[in-house]
Amino acid sequence: MTRLDGAAAEDGCRAAEAPGSEGRPPPSGRRRLVLLACLGAGLGTLLDQSTVNFTVAGIRESLGAPNGAVQWYLASYSLTFGLGLVPGGRIGDAWGRRGPFLLGLALFGLGSIVAALLGTIELITICRLMQGFGAGLISAQVLGSIQDEFSGRARIWALTGYSMAGSAAAIFGPLCAGALLDALPPDLGWRAILLLSVPVIALTAVAAGLAIPRGRGGGAPSLDLPGILLLGAFVVLITLPVIDTGAGSRTALVLLLAALAAGGALAAWERRAIRRAGDGPAPLFAPSLLRSRRFVLGNLVAMLWFGATVGHSAVMTLFLLQGFGLSGLAVAVVLLPSAALRLLVSTGVPWAAGRFGDHVLGVALVVQMAAAFLLSGVIAADLSSVLLLLVLIDCVIGIASAFIDPVVRVLTLEGVGSGVRGVAASFLQLTQRLSATFCVAMFTGILFAASGDGGIGRSGAAVALLVNGGIVLAAAIAAFALVGRRGPRETAART
The domain ranges of the chain are: 3-223+281-484, 224-280
pLDDT band at 483 (very low <50, low <70, confident <90, very high): confident
Q: What is the pLDDT of residues 296-311, one digit of tens each?
A: 888 999 999 999 998 9
Angle at 133 between CA 267 and CA 231, to 5 degrees: 10
Residue 487's pLDDT is: 38
pLDDT of residue 212 exceeding 60, the answer is yes
Residue 292's pLDDT is: 79
Name which residue leads in pLDDT, 434 or 340. Answer: 340
Residue 9's pLDDT is: 38
pLDDT of residue 245 exceeding 80, the answer is no
pLDDT of residue 406 exceeding 70, the answer is yes
Residue 247's pLDDT is: 66
Q: What is the pLDDT of residues 64-116, one digit of tens each?
A: 888 778 888 887 887 788 778 777 877 887 778 888 999 999 999 999 999 99
Residue 153's pLDDT is: 73
pLDDT of residue 481 exceeding 60, the answer is yes
CB-based contacts of 77: which residues, under 8 Å, 6+ apart? 49, 52, 128, 129, 131, 132, 135
pLDDT band at 411 (very low <50, low <70, confident <90, very high): confident
pLDDT of residue 6 exceeding 50, the answer is no
Residue 221's pLDDT is: 55
Residue 147's pLDDT is: 80
Give the CATH number of domain 3-223+281-484.
Answer: 1.20.1250.20
Residue 452's pLDDT is: 66
The lowest-confidence range among 29-33, 133-137, 273-277, 386-390 is 273-277
pLDDT band at 491 (very low <50, low <70, confident <90, very high): very low
The lowest-confidence range among 154-158, 277-281, 484-488, 490-494 is 490-494
Residue 31's pLDDT is: 83
Residue 27's pLDDT is: 46
Mean residue pLDDT across the chain:
81
Name which residue leads in pLDDT, 219 or 167. Answer: 167
pLDDT of residue 327 exceeding 70, the answer is yes
* Percentage of the chain modeled with pLDDT above 70: 83
Name which residue leads in pLDDT, 289 or 145. Answer: 145
pLDDT of residue 474 exceeding 70, the answer is yes
Name which residue leads in pLDDT, 198 or 381. Answer: 198
pLDDT of residue 397 exceeding 90, the answer is yes
